[in-house]
């Protein structure tokens, strides 16, 4: 059985290029999906506290470790949620994650978003009028230092971030001298992020592509239905999803498509090669039709913070507190 390609990180560790995403995998679906994935060669799982299904993933892992796979041959990523950015809460949440998954370490722990919520009031703390309660005092540097300390406990082998821009990355690296090994970001042919890709390449920070199939949070046709993707898939005798995953792989990303359907879980894992010409044609889609789907300022309830500098975030009242000056975050 093939276990797929791997990519070397800054530390020399190898991350499997294709992983299974688990966001929006419903109860009773994700246990099955994880078991099918591992039995069919996946060695990389993408989890998060906020997906609220890590205990089910843990049940699947019990069925396959050690009979199908040794723990050390799996790559398990999870993410620290916004309501636990404060160091004592971060340590507590990591322990909760480990107990849910039923393992004594994670391969990779990420800061899920460059946004702190007020702690101790649930996953989505809200004011009486329903607005999300941000914590503008706890900076990204404080939370990054908490992850650096958690790595020293051995409970996480590698640390990284998610949804970070170049500015956020520069801020935490400048303050601590420690580079995240991975930045997990939305990445598909509609969202090229050339600047971020170039910066991360220069710094040796690996990018993992989330929503690689362009998971549709806006009312746009699905990328798997795009005529060019369909044409190339037909030519290669591949699925549209395989073409999109191949595009991400050719950009050097690890790619974490989510599916709960057996045939898709299996076919998404089979890597196909794109020619330079087809890769370039697909890349052109995003040059003409730039789309970022995942913008928390547009969630309901909204996070009143500008994360990416997108025009749609211009009405947000707050900016990210990168390095410890709450005043800077109070008003753009």
**Positions marked catalytic:** 51
Preceding amide of 301 cis, omega within 30 = yes
End-to-end CA distance of the chain: 53
Piece of the chain touching ligand NAP by CB under 6 A; list 92-100, 124-132, 168-176, 263-271:
263-271
Among 163, 183, 297, 306, binds ligand NAP (CB under 6 A): 163
Size of the site for ligand NAP (CB under 6 A): 28
Q: Does 23 bind ligand NAP (CB under 6 A)?
A: yes
Q: Which is nearer to ligand NAP, 88 or 164 (CB)?
A: 164
Piece of the chain touching ligand NAP by CB under 6 A; list 174-182, 196-204, 256-264, 314-322:
256-264
Q: Which of residues 287-306 bind ligand NAP (CB under 6 A)?
A: 294
Rounded Cα distance between 252 and 208, Å, is 9
Residue of 213, 207, 179 whose CA lies nearest to 195 = 207
Residue 331 C-beta: closest distance to ligand NAP, Å: 26
Q: What 3-state class would DSSP assign to 64?
A: helix
Buried b or exposed e, range 299-318, using 16+ CB within 10 angstroms = eeeebbbbbbeeeebeebeb
Among 169, 256, 295, 316, binds ligand NAP (CB under 6 A): 256
- Cβ–Cβ under 8 Å, residues 156 and 108: yes
Rounded Cα distance between 88 and 67, Å, is 36
Residue 47 C-beta: closest distance to ligand NAP, Å: 7
Q: Does 239 bind ligand NAP (CB under 6 A)?
A: yes
Residue 308 contacts by C-beta under 8 Å, 6 or more apart in sequence? Answer: 165, 292, 295
Q: Which of residues 97-126 bind ligand NAP (CB under 6 A)?
A: 112
Q: Which is nearer to ligand NAP, 141 or 260 (CB)?
A: 260
Distance of CA 189 to the CA centre of its chain: 16
Q: Does 215 bind ligand NAP (CB under 6 A)?
A: yes
Piece of the chain touching ligand NAP by CB under 6 A; list 15-23, 87-95, 271-279, 280-288:
15-23
Q: Which is nearer to ligand NAP, 224 or 291 (CB)?
A: 224
Rounded Cα distance between 116 and 139, Å, is 8
Q: Does 153 bind ligand NAP (CB under 6 A)?
A: no
Rounded Cα distance between 172 and 141, Å, is 5
Task: For residue 112, say whether it is annotated as part of any ligand binding site.
Answer: yes
Among 126, 220, 264, 298, binds ligand NAP (CB under 6 A): 264
Q: Does 224 bind ligand NAP (CB under 6 A)?
A: yes
Residue of 133, 129, 88, 79 whose CA lies nearest to 106 = 79
Residues forming the annotated binding site? 112
- Residues lying near ligand NAP in the complex (CB under 6 A) are found at 21-24, 46, 112, 162-163, 184, 210-215, 224, 239, 241, 256-261, 264, 267-268, 294
């Amino acid at each position: 059985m093939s276990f797929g390609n791997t990519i070397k990180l800054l530390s020399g560790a190898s991350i499997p290029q294709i992983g299974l995403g688990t966001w929006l995998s419903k109860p009773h679906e994700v246990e099955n999906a994880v078991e099918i994935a591992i039995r069919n060669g996946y060695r990389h799982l993408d989890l998060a506290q906020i997906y609220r299904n890590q205990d089910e993933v843990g049940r699947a892992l019990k069925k396959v470790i050690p009979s199908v796979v040794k723990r050390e041959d799996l790559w398990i990523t999870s993410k620290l949620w916004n309501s636990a950015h404060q160091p004592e809460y971060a340590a507590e949440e990591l322990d909760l994650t480990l107990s849910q998954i039923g393992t004594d370490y994670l391969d990779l722990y990420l800061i899920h978003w460059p946004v702190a919520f007020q702690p101790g009031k649930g996953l989505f703390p809200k004011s009486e009028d329903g607005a999300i309660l941000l914590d503008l005092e706890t900076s990204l540097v404080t939370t990054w230092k908490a992850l650096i300390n958690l790595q020293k406990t051995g409970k996480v082998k590698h640390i990284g971030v998610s949804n970070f821009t170049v500015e956020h990355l520069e801020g935490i690296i400048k303050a601590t001298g420690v580079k995240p090994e991975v930045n997990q970001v939305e990445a598909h042919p509609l969202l090229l992020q050339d600047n971020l890709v170039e910066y991360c390449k220069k710094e040796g920070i690996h990018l993992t592509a989330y929503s690689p199939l362009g998971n549709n949070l806006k009312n746009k046709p699905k990328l798997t239905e795009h005529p060019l993707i369909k044409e190339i898939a037909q030519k290669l005798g591949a699925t549209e999803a395989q073409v999109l995953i191949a595009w991400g792989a050719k950009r050097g990303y690890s790619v974490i498509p989510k599916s709960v359907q057996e045939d898709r879980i299996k076919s998404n894992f089979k890597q196909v090669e794109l020619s330079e010409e087809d890769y370039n044609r697909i890349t052109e889609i995003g040059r003409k039709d730039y789309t970022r789907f995942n913008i928390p300022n547009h969630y309901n309830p909204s996070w009143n913070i500008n994360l990416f500098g997108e025009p749609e975030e211009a009405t947000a009242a707050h900016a990210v507190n990168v390095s410890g000056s709450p005043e800077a975050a109070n008003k753009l």
